[in-house]
Amino acid sequence: MVDCGGDAKAGAVLVLPGGFIRSRGRYWRFVETELRALFPLLSREGDGPAVYLLRYRCRGWNGGREDSAVDARWALGQIEERHGEVPVAVVGNSLGGRAGFRIAGHPHITTVVGVAPWLPEEEETEHLAGRKVLIIHGERDHSSAGARHSLAYAERARLAVPDLARLEVPGEGHYLLRRSADVWTTTADFVHDALGVTAAPLPLAQALERARDGDLRTPLPTM
């Protein structure tokens, strides 16, 4: 687990990178490339919550082994050892999104963000009750972690989290490259608002209100 800065007085953020459905190969640091721009935004250059990046033991979820989720639970224990029972926001990308949503029932987790999350239909939702939840997905993501899967998950999860928000990125696929700045700014602003650091800026607040009113395909705002 890598310390990416910040101060736990405002809580902590656990960032879970992507990976593979099946692979026991060594962790691949390439998956951190797009996430690096997110760390200073989340930590507010040291003035925000404590931010940690988890480097998994291996690259894959690996069926019933659920290696990524097992590692994420371990990381939550490490955060508690370092900072006590602080509120934790989990930000998961792709494979990390599934891990983040899987562990969201942990009592210290208050906030869950999935960026292009891999959410198969068997994923449960009841344990999300009481959490603040945001999903961001590229409209044209047709991968195994496709947009239609996160939309179906969001529709089911609404029973547990009525104010869940889901934003779509028009014209983008799984990697969200052309709108990455907006994606990461939105992610950080949502986390800061959820942890009580700073209020969400008006464009995001308006988009979240629309999404929470029922439009689970609300366009990602330009930030």
- The pLDDT value recorded for residue 90 is 99
Q: Which residues neighbour 213 within 8 Å (Cβ) at sequence distance 6 or greater?
A: none
Regarding pTM above 0.85, the answer is yes
pLDDT at 42: 97
Q: How big is the chain by its Cα radius of gyration, in Å?
A: 16
- Rounded Cα–Cα distance for residues 221 and 165 (Å): 13
**How many domains is the chain built from?**
1
Residue-wise pLDDT tens digits, 126-171: 999 999 999 999 999 999 999 999 999 999 999 999 999 999 999 9
Range of the domain at 84: 2-219
Residue 177: which CATH number?
3.40.50.1820
Residue 218 DSSP SS3: strand
Unique residue bearing structure tokens 């705002």: 221
Quote the CA–CA distance of 18 and 204 in Å, as a whole number.
25
**Average pLDDT for the chain:** 94
User: What does the pLDDT look like over 49-93, one tens digit per residue?
Assistant: 999 999 999 888 898 999 999 999 999 999 999 999 999 999 999
**Is the per-residue pLDDT at 25 higher than 90?**
no
